[in-house]
C-alpha cells in the first residue's frame, strides 16, 4: 500500500476485479484432456481459495438462486427453510423441493468450511467445498 502498511488482499489470480484473501493458497496444474475428436490437449488450471461457508443447520444447498430464493416479479416463492429441515436424510446429496437444487447433509454437521475453485483462464470450471478440513492442533 502507498502508506507502507500491509494489505490483507492479493490480486485476483483469475484476472477479475475481485481480490482474494491474503491467506489464499494458489497452485497450478496441467491436465491432459481428450476431446470427442480423439485429439489430446493440455489445459492449465489454476486452483485458488475462494472463501469460507458457515454451516449451522448441518446442511448445505447448491443451486441457482432463481430456484432457491423468492422472486416477487415472477411470483416464485422460492424454497422455504421448513423444506430443508423436513427433508429426508436418507442420502447425503439429493434434490430439494422437486427443484434442480442439491441438498447436502450427513457430512459431519456444523462448522466453517473452506471453498476452493479451479479456473481455466477467467472461467470457473470446478468448485470444491472441503467438508473435512484439517484443523490445527491447539
- Average pLDDT over the chain, rounded to an integer: 78
User: Quick one: pLDDT band at residue 28, thresholds 50, 70, 90?
Assistant: low
pLDDT band at 26 (very low <50, low <70, confident <90, very high): low
State the pLDDT confidence band at 32, using cuts at 50, 70 and 90: low
What are the extents of the domains in the chain?
Answer: 9-53+111-129, 57-105
* End-to-end Cα separation, the chain, in angstroms: 33
Question: Residue range 116-127: average pLDDT?
Answer: 92
Q: Does residue 85 contact residue 96 with C-beta atoms inside 8 Å?
A: no
Query: What does the pLDDT look like over 65-121, one tens digit per residue?
Result: 988 998 888 888 889 899 998 898 889 999 998 889 999 998 888 999 999 999 988
CB burial string 10-31: b at 16+ within 10 A, e below: eeebbeeeeebeeebeeeeeee
Long-range contacts for 96-99 (Cβ within 8 Å, ≥24 apart)? 96/61, 96/63, 99/63, 99/67, 99/68
Give exposure, 41-74, as e/b (b: 16+ Cβ within 10 Å).
eeeebbbbbbeeeebeebbbbebeeebbeeeeee
pTM, two decimal places: 0.67
Greater pLDDT, 34 or 131:
131
Q: Is the pLDDT of residue 37 over 50?
A: yes
Distance CA 5, CA 77 (A): 47
Residue 134, pLDDT score:
79
Amino acid at each position: 500500500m502507498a502508506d507502507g502498511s500491509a494489505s490483507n488482499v492479493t490480486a485476483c489470480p483469475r484476472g477479475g476485479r475481485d481480490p482474494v484473501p491474503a491467506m489464499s493458497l494458489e497452485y497450478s496444474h496441467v491436465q491432459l484432456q481428450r476431446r470427442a475428436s480423439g485429439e489430446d490437449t493440455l489445459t492449465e488450471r489454476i486452483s485458488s481459495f475462494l472463501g469460507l461457508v458457515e454451516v449451522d443447520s448441518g446442511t448445505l444447498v447448491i443451486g441457482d438462486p432463481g430456484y432457491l430464493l423468492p422472486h416477487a416479479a415472477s411470483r416464485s416463492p422460492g424454497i422455504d427453510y421448513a423444506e430443508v429441515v423436513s427433508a429426508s436424510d436418507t442420502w447425503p446429496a439429493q434434490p430439494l423441493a422437486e427443484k434442480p437444487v442439491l441438498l447436502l447433509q450427513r457430512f459431519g454437521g456444523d462448522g466453517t468450511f473452506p471453498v476452493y475453485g479451479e479456473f481455466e483462464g477467467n472461467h470457473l470450471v470446478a468448485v470444491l467445498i472441503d467438508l473435512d478440513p484439517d484443523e490445527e492442533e491447539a
